[in-house]
Amino acid sequence: MKRTALTLAFIFTTGAALLAEEAPPAAKPGETPAIHTKTLWEQIKEGGWVMFPIGACSMLTLYLIGDGFIRVTSPKKMLPKEQVTAVKNLFRSGKYVDAYNYCKAQNSAFANVARMAISSLGEGKTAAEEAILTEMTKENSRIQTFVSYLSVIGVCTPMIGLLGTVTGMISAFAVLGSSGIGDPSGLSAAIGEVLVATASGLFIAIPAFSAYYWLRNRGVKALHEIQDTIAHMLRKMPYDKLAGAHIGDEEIVAADPDWWVADEQEALA
């Protein structure tokens, strides 16, 4: 705490000294004092080398937000109404094989979950519900894989900015130790690196965290809607008439144990 207080005191003290020394001379009567306004590029350059990783994080943040928005909020990716209507109509006609083939040809979270549920209908209600939960977990993983990187960026960018703050403070102390307060230009560059690096890290972290929580909640909500929709479609499903049926083209590799087959052969002999 003492070091933090001393650091902040140093920043404000040297900043005030710089303002006092670099203040423009008083304008003559009838003249307008010249005011130099720094451009955005000049402010970015003041941040030093840490602006390169922060800039990369900013571009990655924009990409992840756009990708997450398309994955989570697009009805075509999550719960297309036309697909729900088509599967319902096939269910009403008892065409479960056609419903499976239709879902397999589609590319959406609803179609993937419905396809796995249909393929398990012949194994009973419990198996179908377990298949839904398993596929829901996979879909949630697909959605959250890229969205979770926004949380990583939200944590790392302030740390990168803090690293720039530390390096800037080291430079500021080095200038202050070598030339004192008599070299305001070198000292102001070091202090600029301190402030710009920290502000830039926070500027990226805040929207990254906000987008992460918003997209994550939207994804959870969309998956719950898919689960409710499929659960409604499976109500009154005639599991007894579908018992033992193999719907779909998933390969079945399970067989009776070899000792069971040998016992049967011995019994027949």
Buried b (16+ CB within 10 A) or exposed e, 32-46: eeeeeeeeeeeeeeb
How many other C-beta atoms can be found within 10 angstroms of the C-beta atom of residue 236?
6
How many other C-beta atoms can be found within 10 angstroms of the C-beta atom of residue 218?
18
pLDDT tens per residue, range 178-227: 665 555 655 565 666 667 888 888 999 999 999 999 999 999 999 999 99
Question: If you ran DSSP here, which 8-state letter would residue 30 be given?
Answer: T
Note the pLDDT of residue 84. 95
In sequence order, what are the residues at sequence separation of 6 or more whose Cβ sits closer than 8 angstroms to the Cβ of residue 59? none
Q: How far apart are CA 155 and CA 199, in angstroms?
A: 14
C-alpha distances in Å from residue 152, one per residue of 66, 81, 192, 214: 17, 34, 26, 15
- The one-letter amino acid at 26: A
Note the pLDDT of residue 249. 76
Buried b (16+ CB within 10 A) or exposed e, 157-192: bbebbebbbebbbebbeebbeeeeeeebebbbbbbb
Give the gyration radius of the chain's Cα atoms: 32
Q: For 91, what's the count of Cα atoms within 13 Å in the CB-facing half-sphere?
A: 21
Q: Please determine, for residue 259, whether its predicted confidence score (pLDDT) is greater than 60.
A: yes
- The one-letter amino acid at 43: Q
Q: Please determine, for residue 76, whether its predicted confidence score (pLDDT) is greater than 90.
A: no
pLDDT tens per residue, range 107-166: 899 999 999 999 999 999 999 999 999 999 999 988 888 889 999 999 999 998 888 787
Which pair of structure tokens corresponds to residue 68? 């997450």
Q: Please determine, for residue 104, whether its predicted confidence score (pLDDT) is greater than 80.
A: yes
Q: Which long-range contacts (CB under 8 A, 24 or more apart) does 38-44 make?
A: 43/192, 43/196, 44/196, 44/200
Q: Please determine, for residue 7, whether its predicted confidence score (pLDDT) is greater than 50.
A: no
% of the chain exceeding 70 in pLDDT: 70
Q: How far apart are CA 111 and CA 227, in angstroms?
A: 11
pTM given for the model? 0.69
